[in-house]
């Protein structure tokens, strides 16, 4: 089956263009472009050449023999209460995830990725609650008491490919993509505060563990999982016992637990450390101070950045002997697109090309 139409659409969506905006760039009518993308008419070599120039993808990008997948089940916005992500942003995100997926499959053909943990599948319908599932995952992974120091690394040890993306400026905090016969892919937004990103990563882990199919309750369930996974109720009862919950105390806990003050306040309410009136009062204070979307900068801490995907690319450069041009040919990307997804391509390389093993 000719997949040129799929890749014509993928390149357009990656650039954030509608068919109406893109058609003149390809010297086509919008109706013809639509029929090409949908496989109803042949995608000509001339159309490929114009698309390569207009979208800034090499011609080889459009000739790949890959199946393009649809959008992810869950996209996590910046704010928990705002579940709406614009269709255009979902299209851009879906294109990025597919491109990354094709690249990762080619990378892993040369590198043996070994995981030290596995992600359990615990169907929420068979469990008491998302909190019960979170407790089981912590036990399964033999996590110690106290804060999870590096959640990114924990996911990587479980075989999840973690990457960073600014999502084209969309207010998306993170997303999980679970393609068949490939490792799960999680992306997070490094322009968002690290405390929110940690909650997002735990939220996506909840989807990975609990949800095979979308449901109307899955986002709330993933939030509940994330809260318990990052701030176990039994431990938080001890943290708040005998203490007055104030903004100052929440700020001190943020430094220790590396979670937002708002998440910690929600946990305090869950374990009965504050009543409804106290909870509303403190949230009102957050709103007055403008902290609902951005907590004080002096409480910020660095992101836990991925190491496995950058290491895979370094192995290709430094150990497998790929030069920059060969990496671009492998990924079917131009230099600017490669660096937007994976960082600078320049580096040292050696002539040997064994298959290497990366242990996470």
Q: What is the pLDDT of residues 105-155, one digit of tens each?
A: 999 999 988 889 999 988 877 778 999 999 999 999 999 999 999 999 999
Q: Write down the residue that tokens 């084209």 correspond to.
A: 168
Burial status of residue 298 (CB atoms within 10 A of its CB: 0-12, 13-18, 19 or more): exposed
Domains and CATH numbers, the chain: 1-68 (1.10.260.40), 119-299 (no CATH)
**pLDDT, tens only, 245-294:** 999 999 999 999 999 999 999 999 999 999 999 999 999 999 999 998 89
Q: What is the dihedral of CA 160, 161, 167, 168, to 10 degrees?
A: -170
| Distance from C-alpha of 306 to C-alpha of 300, rounded to nearest angstrom | 19
47-61, 205-219, 225-239: segment of lowest average pLDDT: 205-219
Whether residue 357 is predicted with pLDDT greater than 90 in this model: the reply is no
- In the structure encoding, which two tokens stand for residue 135, read together? 């407790």
| Distance from C-alpha of 20 to C-alpha of 236, rounded to nearest angstrom | 54
Contact 334, 325 (CB under 8 A): no
In b/e form, how buried is each residue of 117-151, taking b as 16+ CB within 10 angstroms?
A: bebeebebeebeebbebbbebbeebeeeeeebeeb
Please provide residue 74's backbone torsions phi and psi, each rounded to the nearest 5 degrees: -135, 130
Order of strands across the sheet that contains 172-177: 74-77, 172-177, 185-188, 161-164
Give me the pLDDT at residue 158, please: 96
**Between β-strands 356-359 and 111-114, what pairing exists: parallel, antiparallel or unpaired?**
parallel
Task: For Cα atoms 17, 22, 23, give the angle at the middle one, nearest 5 degrees.
Answer: 155
Give me the pLDDT at residue 312, please: 95
Query: What is the DSSP secondary structure assignment for residue 306, as one 8-state letter?
Result: -
Q: What confidence category does residue 73 fall into, taking pLDDT thresholds of 50, 70 and 90?
A: confident
Nearest C-alpha neighbor of 230 from the set 252, 190, 201: 201
Mean pLDDT value across the chain: 91
Residues in the chain: 360
Q: What confidence category does residue 80 fall into, taking pLDDT thresholds of 50, 70 and 90?
A: very low
**pLDDT, tens only, 1-46:** 578 999 999 999 999 999 999 999 999 999 999 999 999 999 999 9
Contact 8, 35 (CB under 8 A): no
Strand partners, 125: none
Give me the pLDDT at residue 359, please: 52
Q: What confidence category does residue 358 fall into, taking pLDDT thresholds of 50, 70 and 90?
A: low
Give every CB contact of residue 175 below 8 A, 6+ residues apart in sequence: 72, 74, 75, 76, 93, 97, 167, 186, 187, 204
Give me the pLDDT at residue 213, please: 84
Against a cut of 0.95, is the pTM above it?
no
State which H helix or E strand residue 173 sits in.
Answer: strand 172-177
Q: What confidence category does residue 346 fall into, taking pLDDT thresholds of 50, 70 and 90?
A: confident
| Distance from C-alpha of 291 to C-alpha of 83, rounded to nearest angstrom | 20
| Distance from C-alpha of 229 to C-alpha of 148, rounded to nearest angstrom | 9
Whether residue 82 is predicted with pLDDT greater than 50 in this model: the reply is no
Cβ of 68: how many Cβ atoms within 10 Å?
17
Nearest C-alpha neighbor of 236 from the set 275, 272, 280: 272
């Amino acid at each position: 089956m000719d997949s040129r139409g799929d890749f014509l659409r993928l390149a357009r969506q990656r650039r954030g263009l509608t068919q109406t905006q893109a058609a003149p760039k390809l010297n086509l009518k919008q109706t013809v472009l639509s029929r090409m993308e949908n496989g109803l008419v042949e995608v000509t070599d001339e159309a490929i050449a114009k698309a390569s120039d207009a979208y800034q993808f090499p011609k080889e990008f459009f000739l790949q023999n890959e199946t393009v997948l649809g959008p992810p089940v869950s996209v996590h916005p910046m704010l928990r209460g705002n579940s709406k992500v614009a269709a255009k942003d979902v299209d851009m995100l879906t294109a990025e995830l597919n491109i990354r997926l094709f690249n990762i499959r080619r990378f892993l053909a040369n590198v043996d990725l070994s995981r030290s943990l596995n992600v359990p599948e615990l169907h929420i319908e068979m469990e008491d609650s998302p909190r019960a599932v979170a407790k089981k995952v912590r036990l399964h992974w033999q996590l110690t008491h106290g804060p999870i120091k590096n959640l990114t690394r924990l996911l990587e040890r479980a075989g999840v490919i973690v990457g960073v993306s600014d999502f084209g400026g969309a207010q998306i905090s993170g997303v999980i993509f679970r393609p068949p016969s490939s490792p799960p892919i999680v992306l997070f937004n490094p322009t968002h505060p690290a405390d929110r990103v940690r909650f997002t990563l735990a939220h996506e882990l909840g989807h990975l563990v609990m949800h095979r199919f979308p449901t109307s309750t899955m986002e709330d369930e993933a939030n509940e999982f994330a809260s318990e996974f990052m701030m176990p109720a039994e431990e938080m009862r001890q943290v708040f016992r005998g203490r007055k919950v104030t903004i100052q105390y929440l700020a001190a806990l943020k430094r220790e637990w590396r979670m937002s003050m708002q998440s910690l306040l929600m946990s305090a309410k869950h374990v009965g450390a504050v009543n409804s009136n106290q909870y509303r009062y403190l949230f009102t204070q957050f709103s007055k101070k403008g902290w609902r979307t951005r907590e004080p900068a002096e409480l910020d801490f660095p992101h836990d950045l991925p190491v496995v995907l950058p290491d895979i690319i370094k192995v290709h450069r430094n150990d497998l002997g790929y030069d920059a041009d060969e990496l671009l040919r492998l990924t079917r990307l131009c230099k600017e697109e490669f660096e937007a997804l994976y960082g600078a391509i320049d580096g040292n390389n050696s002539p040997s090309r064994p298959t290497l093993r990366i242990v996470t």
